[in-house]
Structure 1
Amino acid sequence: MGVATSQQISKYYDLYRSIDVTFTKEVIRATGLGTQQVYLKCIGETWPCVIHSSSFEGAKVIVNAKSGLYARIQQANNLVSLRYSFKISDKTDPLMFFVSGRVLGFSPYGGSSDMAMLTMQFTQRPPDDLIEIMGRLLDANMNSTKRREERILLTPEALRKLQIISKETAIFIQGVPRRCILRDISFSGAKIIMIGVAKFLMDKTAALRIDFEDPREAILLKGRIVRSEDVEGRKDLVALALHYEETQVPMNYKMRINDFLSQVRADSRANPSTEQNETANK
């Protein structure tokens, strides 16, 4: 996780403060939420819980309805604290903090009398760490639509900033692995160069693998080959445009692309030629 400036954190808070993020498996993986270290605290006692969703103004958590938590919350005048825990890629220990809130109510969950959904409203602005972690995700999700056509030219500098291990990678065309070279990428697609004949590759389903560092992960991007171009001076090579399947683009990929574009935009304020050199419109 990069270090966000106070200005970025304020922007995240102002833009996204009331938006609820549901903690699906993908969101848990992208944010690094440590589900086993999350709990509610009330008058000195702790209760395990599952965070269902959270905004910067409140959260919904799933609790055991028969644990005695209800009575304890009533004793505390509905005041509780929710502990968040996140695994940060470059840190050994997890990032943990409490957010204080007031319980607004309970409702049955999943048709079970044993489980309940607890809704809490934060009584103060949450820590900057929570705003940064969730703000990065929300910002990436918004910009994946707003800036979807901005291509990132994969220069050595761009590769370093994106933490892509190598331009040489693999694309699986209808399940068959083929070696290729990355040329540019965006929220919505990629351009690659490989050995092949365009007419036999057009409109084929494909999955592009990109290997990243910090954290080390291989991201698979599914889509369809929609366009081809000749490679000057190389009749054996073809340049192919892959358009991603929009609903299957991993959140981790969106966040990496958005972090890069945000960094380029910040750098361009100091050097106006930077953004033009590192990105282009399709």
Structure 2
Amino acid sequence: MGVVSSQQLSRYYDIYRDIEVVFTKEIVKTLFWDTRQIYIKCTGGQWPCILNSTSLLSAKVIISRNGGAFAAMKESSSVSLHFCFVQPDSRPLVFFVNTRVEDFVPYMDTEDLVVVTLNFINRPPDDLISIMGSLLEANANAVRRKEERIAISAISKRKLGLQKEETIVYIQNVPRHCVLRDISFSGAKLILIGLKSFILKQIIMIRFEFNDPREIIYVRGVVVAVDEIEGHKDLVVARVLYDKKSVSMAYKIRINNYITSVRINQLAENNVNNGH
């Protein structure tokens, strides 16, 4: 997790505090969430629970109606919720959030399980604000700034964590070598060998290899335009429009972190040039 300024944390909290994030398998994987280390403390006891969702104001956990946690929370509304994120190549990030029980609701009409809403007593730790804020900002910018393209260069590769611009694109399930020219939330531009008439309108899959943390991400899309390269009859430039459902949260966060860092640097340079 990168360093986030106090100004950015306040911005995240002000804009996104009411938005609830449901912990799907993709979100759990993207945030390096350790589901085995999620538990509650109440009336001196400790019990595991399932974190169903959270915002920056409250969380919803799933527990058994027949267990000790339910009885303890019925006795006392004061509950500490333990969060745990497994940081790649570093120690796990753990903290408690002090909460108060708001209500109990049956989970999907079951008799044994209940969803407990826990309201945060105070503003949550900065780590939670940073993690959830960056996730929500990436989702928002994937719509608002979807056409903002990132030219692939030595600098942008380093900031994106992109291993190399040479990669693989699958056309009709056949792997082909290509070179990334630019990428965005919504698409990419590739250089590859092939015929314009064959590549145009093909459904393709692009392989991205990233570092820090090391991961491989595949994004599906369709080739919407192909331009031949003058003087190179076998090479073409293909413009790819992504299938929105194929764009993972991990990819969105990569793009958003780069765009955000560039914007912050530009603002800093403008302040210096203006004498601030």
Q: TM-score range by the shorter chain?
A: over 0.9
Spell out, residue by residue over 1:27-80, the C-alpha distance to the aligned partner (whole angstroms, 9 max, x if none): 11111111000001102211111111100000111111110323212332x110
Number of the residue aligned with 2:24: 24
Look up the SS of the partner of 2:4 in the other structure: coil
Q: 2:103 aligns with which of 98, 102, 105?
A: 105
1:1-282 correspondence runs (5 A): 1-76=1-76, 78-91=77-90, 93-271=91-269
Partners of 1:267 and 1:10 lie apart in 2 by 19
SS where residue 113 of structure 1 aligns?
A: coil
3-state DSSP class of the match of 1:112?
Answer: coil
Shift of 1:237: 0.2
Q: Give the Cα separation in 2 of the matches to 1:110 and 1:120.
A: 18
Aligned partner letter, 1:188: S
What residue number does 2:274 align with? none
| Cα distance in 2 between the residues matched to 1:265 and 1:179 | 32
Structure 1 pair 232–267 and aligned structure 2 pair: CA distance change class (3 A): farther
Deviations 1:14-35, CA, capped at 9 Å, x for gaps: 0001100000011111111110
Question: 1:254: Cα distance to partner?
Answer: 0.2
Task: Please give the per-residue CA displacement for 1:122-173, whole angstroms capped at 9, x wherever unaligned.
Answer: 1111000000001010000000000000000001111111110010000011
TM-score, length basis structure 2: 0.95
Q: What is the RMSD computed on CA atoms of the aligned residues?
A: 1.0
> In the TM superposition, what is the alpha-carbon distance from 1:110 to its structure 2 partner?
2.9
Q: Distance in 1 between matches of 2:220 and 2:152?
A: 20
